[in-house]
Amino acid sequence: MTLLYRTLLLLLLLPTFALAELPSQLLQDLAPVDGVVLMAMGDSWLVDLDANQNIRQGDILAVMSPGETIIHPQTRDIVGRIDHVVGFLEVSRVMSGYSYTNLLTPELGLQAGDQVRRFEQVPAHIDDSVPEALAQELKRNLSHFQWDVEAIETAGTGVVFRLQDERLSVSGPAGAVVGSYRYSAGQVLAPLTPTIRQTESVAAVDPERSALNRGVDSLLGTVGLSRGDTRLEAPGIARQQQSDGVWISPPLGENPVGLASADLTGDGRTEIAVALDNELRIMRMEDGRFVTTAVVDFPAGTRLLGIDAHDLSGDARAELYVTAVIDSDLRSQVVEYRNGRFERVITMVNWFMRVVDLPGEGAVLLGQRMSRSDEPFAPPVFRVERNRDRLARGAALDLPARINLFSMLPVTSAAGDIIYVSLSADDRLQLVTASNDRLWRSSDYFGGSDTSFYHRPESEATTRVPVAIQQRLERLATGEILTVQNQGSRLLKGLRTFTDAQLVAFEWDSTGLQLIERWRTPPQKGYIADFIVADLDDNGELDLLVAMRFQEKNILQRGHSALMVFKLQQ
């Protein structure tokens, strides 16, 4: 009898259970998703979330502040951290690789690198039209919302769940519908609205803005300046074809160490090579999006230090010259497109390699050996020659002392003398003559790299100091010289932390023998790993491609790395 009673009771409760079931799509649409604030863009802020993470227009993102660290009392291991919500953002436009958001919390001190989490502690109200059983199931499955908030309190920052016309709607601020789901026979069914929206099409550029001001607009967001601000009226950067003035790639997932670009396949189109710690990715820009076309893996233990593209074989297809190490030994390699794929065609090269623009010659591939002495870059720097699948040492260059192939760019004075613009080991920009006389040394830091290697094996040195691969110096078509300025802590060579980064362009005064600063990009919170200048989308206009690692908020958060593209003025 008792068994029969329990069975009947279970049958009576089945409709209630069915009523309480929520579709998986609703749970996915309203689930927490972690992201990072990339940069300001006018009055908006960009975050590294897009349709691939099921981000939709109208989604509300909580801005998280790191709180107290939870430490296990016995093992002393870090278990986690109690984060706090300090404000809210609303997604206004979903692009490819990133999204625009607007501030919902006034006076929110937002910064690039801040962590965001979708719908975390967002105020939520359930309208009286929603049955109690459904309301309880919503609260149980969506516990990250802040429930039992009166509707009037959610008007500016929260969401409202409402049942009307056989649909369950989720509305955000100002009544904007975040999601809508069919409701029939006591059950919430499939969504009425698309769960993943297409990325927004690009609006036309305002024709009333000058090219110069549009160029400034494209970078204003990085420092939070308004569109009318005149503090950054610097030539050199022009607005990208997109309305926001910048292309940002989806997250790279790994730390970039170098960039190169050229026609690598011989089809007349530009490929982009991104060197990561142990991987090489070949990309193209297709309709404003970075598309990976190939991945080249390296043997275990290989660490990439730098990369350049150069057509040394003379077949109208550039090869990739990769400087790499295994432990403290150079193991540089050449990657080439053969038989329809990218292959490592030359390996075990015990040279550093870099393409340098030499006066009167243009781009030349240079090499340099490594030394186990106190000076890790052994002179001389020499030209690299190629005979099929072998590299050979060519003529040596007569360079000043302590200038290596990574840290110099030769320029010519009005009198015809060669002067070397170089970055010193302690990150100072300087001018040095061929006879090793220093004409000038900057008081500010320039360059700054956390890509490094050990040139001595652990068994041969009581203390090993990492050797940094210095940032490149690039000559633009205008003759200006472009370099990186990473700012941060330089107290210890083995522990360098960079928190602010920008690019600075100088004009070479060949008569006065001086560098004159002409423009700089606004500072980013983070670190620039490398940059190149090339026609990335084959439209006849030069682009500035930057490999950016945005600042880590603390030791528990990994920095977000991405590629950024700006259009250069011709």
Produce one character per residue of 322-346: b if its CB has 16 or more CB atoms within 10 Å, e if not: bbbbeebebbbbbbbbeeeebebbb
pLDDT class of 494 with cuts at 50, 70, 90:
low
Q: Which of 188-192, 233-237, 328-332 has the lowest mean pLDDT?
A: 233-237
**What one-letter code names the amino acid at 137?**
E
What is the number of other CB atoms lying within 10 angstroms of the CB of residue 399? 22
Phi, psi of 58 (to 5 degrees): 100, -15
Q: Which of 108-112, 314-318, 544-548 has the lowest mean pLDDT?
A: 108-112
Query: Among 383, 370, 282, which residue's Cα sits nearest to residue 328?
Result: 370
Residue-wise pLDDT for 312-371, tens only, equals 999 999 999 999 999 999 999 999 999 999 999 999 999 999 999 999 999 999 999 999
Residue-wise pLDDT for 366-405, tens only, equals 999 999 887 899 999 999 999 999 999 999 999 998 899 9
Mean pLDDT value of segment 148-167: 76
Cross-strand bridge partners of residue 428: 445
Distance CA 419, CA 410 (A): 6
CA 9 to chain centre: 58
Which tokens in the block code for residue 414?
């009005």
Query: Among 501, 510, 551, which residue's Cα sits nearest to residue 528?
Result: 501
Asked whether the predicted pLDDT for residue 19 surpasses 90, the reply is: no
Rounded percentage of the chain residues whose pLDDT exceeds 90? 49
pLDDT class of 28 with cuts at 50, 70, 90:
confident
Mean pLDDT value of segment 537-549: 92
Distance CA 372, CA 367 (A): 17
Indicate the helix (H) or strand (E) that contains 260: strand 256-262
Q: Who wins on pLDDT, 92 or 74?
A: 92
Residue 41 is predicted with a pLDDT of: 83
132-141 and 2-20 helices, crossing angle to 10°: 70
pLDDT class of 263 with cuts at 50, 70, 90:
very high
| β strands within 95-241, DSSP E | 99-103, 115-118, 124-126, 159-163, 167-171, 177-184, 187-191, 237-238
Residue 523 is predicted with a pLDDT of: 79
pTM: 0.66
Residue 197 is predicted with a pLDDT of: 34
| Alpha-carbon separation of residue 405 from 198, 235, 302, 378 (angstroms) | 46, 29, 21, 10
Phi, psi of 115 (to 5 degrees): -85, 140
Produce one character per residue of 547-559: b if its CB has 16 or more CB atoms within 10 Å, e if not: bbbbbbbeeebee
Residues 6+ apart with CB under 8 A from 154: 123, 124, 125, 160
Residue 246 is predicted with a pLDDT of: 65
| Alpha-carbon separation of residue 58 from 130, 170, 179, 398 (angstroms) | 22, 10, 9, 62
Asked whether the predicted pLDDT for residue 156 surpasses 80, the reply is: no
Residue 56 is predicted with a pLDDT of: 87
Residue 211 is predicted with a pLDDT of: 34
pLDDT class of 240 with cuts at 50, 70, 90:
very low
Query: Among 383, 376, 396, which residue's Cα sits nearest to residue 456?
Result: 376
Residue 373 is predicted with a pLDDT of: 83
The number of residues making up the chain comes to 570
Residue-wise pLDDT for 523-535, tens only, equals 788 899 999 999 9
Asked whether the predicted pLDDT for residue 268 surpasses 90, the reply is: yes
Average pLDDT, the chain: 82
Residue 10 is predicted with a pLDDT of: 43
pLDDT class of 489 with cuts at 50, 70, 90:
confident
Beta strands 44-47 and 78-81 are unpaired
Residue 492 is predicted with a pLDDT of: 62
Residue 235 is predicted with a pLDDT of: 40
Q: Who wins on pLDDT, 443 or 462?
A: 443
**Dihedral angle sign, alpha carbons of residues 150, 151, 157, 159:** positive
Looking up tokens 């989308």 gives: 537
Asked whether the predicted pLDDT for residue 38 surpasses 80, the reply is: yes
Q: Could you give the 3-state DSSP secondary structure of residue 183?
A: strand
Q: Could you give the 3-state DSSP secondary structure of residue 54?
A: coil
Distance CA 351, CA 344 (A): 16
Q: Which of 437-441, 455-459, 506-510 has the lowest mean pLDDT?
A: 455-459
| CA-based radius of gyration for the chain | 28
Q: Who wins on pLDDT, 39 or 559?
A: 39
Residues 6+ apart with CB under 8 A from 559: 113, 255, 526, 527, 549, 550, 551, 552
Indicate the helix (H) or strand (E) that contains 90: strand 84-94
Residue 321 is predicted with a pLDDT of: 99
Cross-strand bridge partners of residue 94: 99
Distance CA 253, CA 231 (A): 35
Q: Is 64 exposed, middle or buried (0-12, 13-18, 19+ CB in 10 A)?
A: buried
Residue 63 is predicted with a pLDDT of: 95
Residue 491 is predicted with a pLDDT of: 67
Residue 166 is predicted with a pLDDT of: 80
Asked whether the predicted pLDDT for residue 191 surpasses 50, the reply is: yes
**Dihedral angle sign, alpha carbons of residues 250, 253, 258, 264:** negative
Domains of the chain (ranges; CATH) run: 24-191 (2.40.30.20), 246-567 (2.130.10)
Distance CA 291, CA 317 (A): 20
Q: Who wins on pLDDT, 558 or 212?
A: 558
| Alpha-carbon separation of residue 482 from 15, 33, 495, 503 (angstroms) | 69, 38, 26, 7
Q: Which of 60-74, 109-123, 287-301 has the lowest mean pLDDT?
A: 60-74
pLDDT class of 180 with cuts at 50, 70, 90:
confident
pLDDT class of 543 with cuts at 50, 70, 90:
very high
Residue 415 is predicted with a pLDDT of: 95
Residue 157 is predicted with a pLDDT of: 83
Produce one character per residue of 353-382: b if its CB has 16 or more CB atoms within 10 Å, e if not: bbbbeeeeeeebbbbbbbeeeeebbbbebb
Q: Who wins on pLDDT, 457 or 471?
A: 471
